[in-house]
Amino acid sequence: MRENEKPVPGYLEKIPLDLYLLITASGLLGVWILLDDGYGPFGNGIGLFCILAAAVALVLAAIKTLYVRVRLGKWWQNTLIYKLGILIKRTFFDENHGLLKQLHRLSPVHRALLFVAAAALYAWVGTRYAPMYTDLAYPLLVWSGVAALAFFLIRSALQLEKILVCSETLAEGALDTKVGTAHMFWDFKCLGENLNAISGGMKLAVDQKLKSERLKTELITNVSHDIKTPLTSIINYVDLMQRDRAGEHRDEYLEVLSRQSARLKKLTEDLVELSKAATGNVPVNAERRSLNELLSQAVGEYADRLEKAQIEPVLTLPEQEPFAHLDGALFWRVLDNLFSNTCKYALPGTRFYIDMNASKGKIHLSFRNISRDRISVSADELMERFVRGDASRSSEGSGLGLNIARSLTELQNGTFDLTLDGDVFRVDITLPQMV
């Protein structure tokens, strides 16, 4: 046999190793007994030779099978002890059907009854059999049972007290309270973990409620401001036109009215679009679309505006063209928002990076630019409705674009994530890839 070539298992290797070694040891013990008994019925000459030959054969067979088993690897798996261990593990510790798992699934009442039955059996055995052996065994047996029961009851009482104190603290409004569930019994540990989950859920709900109330207040303030500004301007210029009988400034007033009414119309349309997108009432006509084509089209459409804003687009596409199941019109509105924001808010003389790659059934899009002005809010706040990066709110736009873009992306089974790193504005979009 070659050095790197694995041996072929034979009949001996099918016998459990510990059983085989036991058989070999029994054979050698029999040989020793025969030798000690004067070769038994085999005589002196031929009998001695047969006995020694049998002993050598047993030893050589044992060495050979050990060598083969070691070369084959995992020799311990073919032993009775290993198989017994696996049987015990499956019987008691199996995650689905083990006795401990079944015991855990019992109700507390059934487990208590089982514990009482075990204690009664323990006491009966002590009463029935211990006095037969020694007078000392019976009290030791009884008192050890009493000590185990006392330990169980005291630990249970202490753990229950911890849970009660935590529940009272939670009832008083201290939502940060947690129960230490380490080393608790099954039911108490489960109850403590449930209390901790309730505490965390209540705290999260309260925080979200407070944030929602704050954003709702800001929403009312901001939408009132955004609607009031063009509406007030329209009212004032209409009043000026009514007073200007000669019509000297009529064209100037009409230009302002046209601009402000367009702004008011855009705001109203954004509100309606946001409402539809957030509630999922936008029809999605998804089909197999090329992301390379959509991105290249967007760069071409915005080439003049980007050049005018002194922004250089840098488009990086994968060699193998990825396809996605999406609505081209809806996704174009997402791209339109990102390119439009870049033209409005990016720092002149910088680059606008658009990267795309596909892996593990997902298409990843990345849009990065450097903001012209300092962004004074967080990424989460910038994604909320009626929020823009500039605090003055003097720039054009309603602040709804990013929220609409996210809602439209999610309608097409994608994700839309915004991150801010200093003045670097980055949006990551992930879409499921079609084969």
Q: Give every CB contact of residue 112 below 8 A, 6+ residues apart in sequence.
A: none
Checking if the pLDDT of 181 tops 70, the result is yes
Average pLDDT over residues 189-194: 80
DSSP states of 25-78: HHHHHHHHHHHHTTTGGGTTTHHHHHHHHHHHHHHHHHHHHHHHHHHHS-GGGG
Are 68 and 113 part of one and the same domain? no
Domains contained in the chain, number: 3
Supply 81's token pair: 């002890």
Ramachandran angles phi, psi of 366, nearest 5°? -130, 130
Are 35 and 151 part of one and the same domain? no
Q: Which residue has the higher pLDDT, 325 or 158?
A: 325
Q: Which residue has the higher pLDDT, 210 or 116?
A: 210
Q: What is the reported pTM? A: 0.48
Domain end (from 169, 186, 203): 169
User: Can you list the alpha helix ranges (DSSP code H) found in 302-396?
Assistant: 303-308, 328-345, 379-383
Q: Which residue has the higher pLDDT, 224 or 78?
A: 78
Domain end (from 73, 93, 124): 73
- Confidence tier at 343 by pLDDT (50, 70, 90): very high
Are 422 and 323 part of one and the same domain? yes
Contact 416, 409 (CB under 8 A): yes
Q: In this structure, is residue 252 part of a structural domain?
A: no
Are 300 and 419 part of one and the same domain? yes
Are 340 and 287 part of one and the same domain? yes
Which of 194-203, 299-308, 392-401 holds the top average pLDDT? 299-308
Q: In this structure, is residue 155 part of a structural domain?
A: yes
Q: In this structure, is residue 135 part of a structural domain?
A: yes
Are 45 and 158 part of one and the same domain? no
Q: In this structure, is residue 46 part of a structural domain?
A: yes
What is the tens place of the pLDDT at every residue in 24-76? 888 788 777 766 665 555 555 666 677 777 778 888 888 888 888 888 877 77
Q: How far apart are CA 250 and CA 265, in angstroms?
A: 22
User: Can you list the alpha helix ranges (DSSP code H) found in 73-185?
Assistant: 80-93, 99-105, 108-129, 137-171
Around Cβ 188, how many Cβ atoms within 10 Å?
A: 19
Contact 308, 346 (CB under 8 A): no
Contact 377, 399 (CB under 8 A): no
CA angle 99, 104, 107 (to 5 degrees): 120
SS3 assignment, position 346: strand
Are 133 and 53 part of one and the same domain? no
Q: Give every CB contact of residue 298 below 8 A, 6+ residues apart in sequence.
A: 332, 335, 336, 339
Average pLDDT over residues 288-311: 92
Are 59 and 116 part of one and the same domain? no
Are 423 and 320 part of one and the same domain? yes
User: Given this model, what pLDDT does residue 285 score?
Assistant: 84
What is the tens place of the pLDDT at every residue in 40-51? 555 556 666 777
Are 317 and 408 part of one and the same domain? yes
Q: How far apart are CA 240 and CA 257, in angstroms?
A: 11
Domain end (from 169, 187, 202): 169
- Confidence tier at 218 by pLDDT (50, 70, 90): low
Residue 409: which H helix or E strand, with range?
helix 401-411
Q: In this structure, is residue 237 part of a structural domain?
A: no
- Confidence tier at 350 by pLDDT (50, 70, 90): very high
- Confidence tier at 393 by pLDDT (50, 70, 90): very low
SS3 assignment, position 383: helix
What is the tens place of the pLDDT at every residue in 303-329? 999 999 999 999 999 888 889 989 888
Are 37 and 161 part of one and the same domain? no
Q: Where is average pLDDT lowest: 46-55, 108-117, 256-265?
A: 108-117
Checking if the pLDDT of 290 tops 70, the result is yes
User: Given this model, what pLDDT does residue 90 score?
Assistant: 77
Are 18 and 133 part of one and the same domain? no
Q: In this structure, is residue 188 part of a structural domain?
A: no
Write down the mean pLDDT value for the chain.
77
DSSP states of 210-262: HHHHHHHHHHHHHHHHHHHHHHHHHHHHHHHHHH-TT-TTHHHHHHHHHHHHH
157 lies in which domain range?
108-169
User: Given this model, what pLDDT does residue 171 score?
Assistant: 77
Q: In this structure, is residue 33 part of a structural domain?
A: yes
Average pLDDT over residues 207-220: 70
Q: Where is average pLDDT lowest: 16-20, 181-185, 398-402?
A: 398-402
Which of 202-206, 213-217, 286-290 holds the top average pLDDT? 286-290
CATH of residue 323's domain is 3.30.565.10
Q: In this structure, is residue 277 part of a structural domain?
A: no
Report the share of the chain in percent with pLDDT over 90. Answer: 15
Average pLDDT over residues 111-137: 64
